[in-house]
């Protein structure tokens, strides 16, 4: 557009470029999902379909934004790690935030019926988002460990809470009986009263979900003597690993390099 006398309004915009040489962590979280989960009768404590829907949205994010190198999700939240050198939207915070949150939300709505074919989406879901910059990969790992510890603490509590409620206690009584209990007390409660071995519960509930680009070997064809010709293909993969200990990172050094 040619310059008009109104052009000056543009000067009021602020520069919100994130600093260079930093990993960018974007965390989104469902707005009022306590109520959203109740309105859509999510299974308690963990609705598997709802978690799988979140995971599919995260897979779409990695496919749509190739600079996202890793994502970690639990409950109604997902964290996305953008590589240190990303120039996505010239690193403008508001662009990165608004486009990724709206993209995630749209995929959530579009894919809803695939995971809940018999449940109508009764209200428009929304997600909040924030960006945080971390100057070193080891801090990004600590960030992810922080989220996974949170996943563990919440899941252990919620598993006990809902076991007690489903066995006839009121929500208040369940809350009371868990007050001040330690991690080992909760494991003991699950085992003694409900014959549940916490460690045997699905890894997705205990560990949350990791989404990353894996290098998988696949057979492309057979050669003239019938031997398989293989090549490495990049594939966006979902897994439920321990990301606090070094094992996963040692096996996938290219993710945060």
Measured CA to CA, the distance from residue 73 to residue 96 in angstroms comes to 19
- Give residues 73-92 in contact with ligand ATP (rule: CB under 6 A): 75-76
- Give residues 17-36 in contact with Mg ion (rule: CB under 5 A): 29-30, 33
Q: How far is the CB of 11 from ligand ATP (least distance, A)?
A: 20
Long-range contacts of 135-138 (CB under 8 A, 24+ apart): 135/21, 135/22, 135/23, 136/23, 137/23, 137/84, 137/256, 137/257
Q: Is 208 left (phi over 0), alpha (psi -120 to 50) or beta?
A: left
Q: CB-wise, 78 or 198, nearer to ligand ATP?
A: 78
Q: Residue 70 interacts with ligand ATP (CB under 6 A)?
A: no
Q: Residue 155 interacts with ligand ATP (CB under 6 A)?
A: no
Q: CB-wise, 29 or 214, nearer to ligand ATP?
A: 29
Q: How far is the CB of 107 from Mg ion (least distance, A)?
A: 17
Other CB atoms closer than 10 Å to residue 66's CB: what's the count?
A: 13
The single residue among 16, 17, 20, 34 that binds ligand ATP, judged by CB under 6 A, is 34
| Element counts in the chain: helices (H) and strands (E) | 8, 6
The single residue among 7, 16, 17, 32 that binds ligand ATP, judged by CB under 6 A, is 32
HSE-CB for 179 with a 13 A CA cutoff: 7
Residues that bind Mg ion (CB under 5 A): 29-30, 33, 75-77
Residues that bind ligand ATP (CB under 6 A): 29-34, 37, 42, 44, 46-47, 50-51, 75-76
């Amino acid at each position: 557009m040619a310059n008009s006398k109104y052009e000056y309004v543009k000067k009021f915009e602020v520069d919100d470029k994130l600093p260079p040489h930093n990993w960018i962590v974007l965390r989104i979280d469902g707005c009022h999902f306590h109520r959203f989960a109740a309105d859509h009768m999510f299974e308690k404590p963990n609705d598997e379909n709802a978690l799988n829907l979140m995971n599919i949205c995260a897979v779409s994010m990695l496919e749509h934004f190739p600079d996202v190198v890793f994502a970690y999700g639990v409950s109604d939240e997902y964290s996305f790690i953008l590589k240190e050198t990303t120039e996505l939207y010239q690193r403008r915070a508001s662009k990165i935030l608004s486009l990724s949150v709206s993209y995630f939300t749209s995929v959530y709505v579009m894919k809803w019926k695939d995971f809940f074919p018999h449940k109508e989406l009764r209200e428009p879901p929304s997600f909040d988002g924030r960006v945080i910059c971390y100057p070193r990969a080891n801090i990004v790992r600590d960030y992810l460990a922080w989220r996974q510890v949170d996943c563990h603490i919440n899941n252990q509590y919620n598993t006990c809470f809902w076991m007690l409620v489903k066995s006839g206690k009121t929500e208040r009584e369940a809350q009371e009986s868990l007050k001040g209990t330690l991690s080992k007390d909760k494991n003991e409660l699950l085992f003694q009263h409900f014959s549940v071995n916490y460690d045997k519960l699905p890894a997705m509930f205990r560990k949350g979900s990791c989404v990353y680009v894996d290098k998988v070997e696949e057979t492309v064809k057979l050669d003239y003597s019938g031997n398989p010709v293989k090549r490495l293909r990049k594939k966006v993969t979902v897994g439920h690993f321990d990301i606090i200990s070094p094992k996963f990172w040692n096996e996938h050094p290219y993710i945060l390099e």
